[in-house]
């Protein structure tokens, strides 16, 4: 078991109260580390040093291309340690090892992408009148807070931190208490760099303590949060009290809309992979299957067959589906499964699985639930497990109505050979991302990601995310 520390002002520290939190391997229930249980005092120390560093000449004098070089250096460190990091992410989160590798590769790409963007965030000039030059610049916002969820720690910390540093901000990260390991390793990489102390800080602890203190701190200038709707509302309210902007990436109940004219094999692969990745513990999981009524029996039969052939096991075994994070999450998922026995029809899965040698983990067979009423809890609420709910539609209009029938709007998949119909639906679906005849597009590093409705607001990933961490200044100069 590792004893880990927070990183504030270039120093590795215990919490100010000396308390700690145990971290478990979801695959086995084994304690693998302990982290400091941070306090409001620890958060304040991290924010204050980030604020001081942001205003310092040492950080202001770092040129944009040099900030890019900092991010390139982190990418190289991630690449050099790729095997160990993938193993660490797998042990910490429980996801299959191949998915752990994919997450590390995505993190590398984030740091490279934003490293290349650091000296390319341009301003503009505005024609006013003769004798007046007006120009616009984008300046860094200041101290940025990054509250990271437990399901994709290395990816989500990388995508926001890299964009924030690229634009000249300083950073305070709050990692998830359940899965802090890769964030700790990334912190070590920043510690090894020759950069001003206080550019990168990492506090640990419970969300309701450290996360709340960070999102409501008066010296924080922007908050990025990924997590549940309920917590996102609390984060937004705390930041709003200080008139601080937030980027919220919250839940999803994302549909895959399948028409009879689709490429069947490709669509089956897409639908299955969209729900089993990370055991369905993904905000963008394709958790609803909307299938054309005339095509239902044929298509659903193939999906059920695939589900019954999926393997379940510990992350390090690299099976198709890993464990649910912990007992609390597992019990929540099982409540939905039990409800399905009353309100729907289970076509596959639905049972707890015991994995030999990893009996302390919480595993569930990938599950398909049919005959779900569109306004039921099963249809409307995020289950956050390897559970797929099935609905049918008669025509394009009904598919659109079903797709938009929840409070969420994060991702949608459309599967059809009729490209006109696909574009028609894409233009009318309330969803931040729409994928036609694919789902996920290789991780989407360059593509804006965020939601409609209760899936949040603001966008991460891609070029547009850089604007989260800048403020616009207009300068007008009169000359003779």
Pick the closest to residue 452 from 222, 164, 254 (CA basis). Answer: 254
Pick the closest to residue 235 from 210, 198, 199, 254 (CA basis). Answer: 210
The residues that bridge with 127 in the sheet, in sequence order, are 133
Q: Look up tokens 């634009």; give the residue.
A: 167
Q: Which H or E run includes 302? A: helix 296-309
Strand-strand pairing, 411-415 and 255-258: parallel
Catalytic residue selected from 89, 177, 209, 249: 249
Structure tokens at 168: 């000249």
Catalytic status, residue 381: no
- Listed as own residue / partner, the contacts of 239-242 with beta carbons closer than 8 Å and 24 or more positions apart are 239/215, 241/216, 242/216, 242/217, 242/218
Which residues, 6 or more positions from 433, have their beta carbon under 8 angstroms from its beta carbon? 284, 410, 411, 412, 444, 447, 448, 449
The residues that bridge with 384 in the sheet, in sequence order, are none
| Sign, CA torsion 384/385/386/392 | negative
Q: Which H or E run includes 388? A: strand 387-393
Q: Evaluate whether 107 touches 82 at the Cβ level (below 8 Å).
A: no
DSSP reduced 3-state for 168 = coil
Describe the crossing of helices 97-117 and 153-166 by its angle, rounded to 10 degrees. 0
- Listed as own residue / partner, the contacts of 293-299 with beta carbons closer than 8 Å and 24 or more positions apart are 293/392, 293/393, 293/394, 294/260, 295/258, 295/259, 295/260, 296/390, 296/392, 298/264, 299/258, 299/264, 299/267, 299/268
The values of phi and psi at residue 446, to 5°, are -90, -5
- Which residues are identified as catalytic? 249
């Amino acid at each position: 078991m590792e004893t880990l520390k927070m990183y504030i002002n270039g120093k590795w520290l215990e919490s100010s109260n000396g308390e700690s939190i145990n971290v478990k391997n979801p695959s086995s229930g084994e304690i693998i580390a302990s982290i400091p249980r941070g306090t409001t005092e620890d958060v304040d120390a991290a924010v204050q040093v980030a604020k001081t560093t942001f205003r310092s000449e040492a950080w202001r004098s770092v040129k944009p291309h040099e900030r890019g070089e900092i991010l390139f250096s982190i990418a190289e460190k991630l690449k050099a340690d790729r095997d160990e990091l993938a193993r660490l992410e797998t042990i910490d989160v429980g996801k299959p090892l191949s998915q752990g590798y994919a997450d590390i590769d995505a993190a590398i790409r984030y740091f490279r992408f934003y490293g290349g963007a650091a000296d390319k965030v341009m301003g503009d000039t505005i024609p006013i009148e003769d004798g007046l030059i007006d120009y616009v610049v984008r300046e860094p916002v200041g101290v940025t807070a990054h509250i990271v969820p437990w399901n994709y720690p290395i990816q989500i910390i990388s995508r926001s931190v890299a964009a924030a540093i690229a634009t000249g901000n300083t950073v305070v990260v709050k990692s998830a208490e359940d899965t802090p390991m890769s964030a700790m390793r990334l912190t070590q990489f920043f510690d090894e760099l020759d950069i001003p102390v206080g550019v990168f800080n990492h506090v640990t602890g419970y969300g309701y303590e450290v996360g709340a203190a960070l999102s409501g701190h008066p010296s924080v200038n922007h908050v990025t949060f990924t997590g549940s709707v309920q917590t996102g509302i609390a984060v937004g309210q705390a930041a709003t009290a200080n008139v601080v902007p937030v980027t919220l990436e919250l839940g999803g109940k994302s549909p895959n809309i399948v028409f009879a004219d689709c490429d069947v094999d490709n669509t089956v692969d897409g639908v299955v992979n969209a729900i089993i990745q990370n055991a369905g513990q993904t905000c963008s999981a394709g958790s609803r299957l909307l299938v054309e009524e005339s095509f239902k029996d044929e298509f659903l039969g193939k999906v059920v067959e695939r589900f019954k052939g999926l393997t379940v096991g510990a992350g390090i075994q690299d099976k198709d589906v890993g464990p649910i994070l912990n007992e609390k999450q597992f019990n929540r998922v099982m409540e939905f499964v039990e409800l399905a026995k009353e309100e729907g029809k289970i076509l596959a899965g639905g049972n707890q699985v015991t994995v030999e040698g990893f009996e302390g983990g919480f595993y569930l067979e990938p599950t398909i639930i049919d005959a779900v009423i569109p306004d039921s809890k099963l249809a409307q609420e995020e289950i956050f497990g390897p559970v797929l709910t099935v609905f049918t539609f008669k025509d394009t209009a009904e598919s659109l109505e079903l797709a938009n029938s929840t409070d969420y709007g994060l991702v949608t998949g459309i599967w059809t050979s009729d490209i006109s119909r696909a574009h028609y639906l894409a233009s009318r679906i309330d969803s931040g991302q729409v994928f036609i005849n694919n789902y996920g597009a290789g991780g989407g590093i360059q593509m804006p990601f965020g939601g409609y409705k209760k899936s949040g607001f603001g966008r991460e990933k891609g070029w547009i995310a850089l604007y989260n961490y800048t403020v616009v200044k207009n300068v007008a100069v009169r000359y003779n």
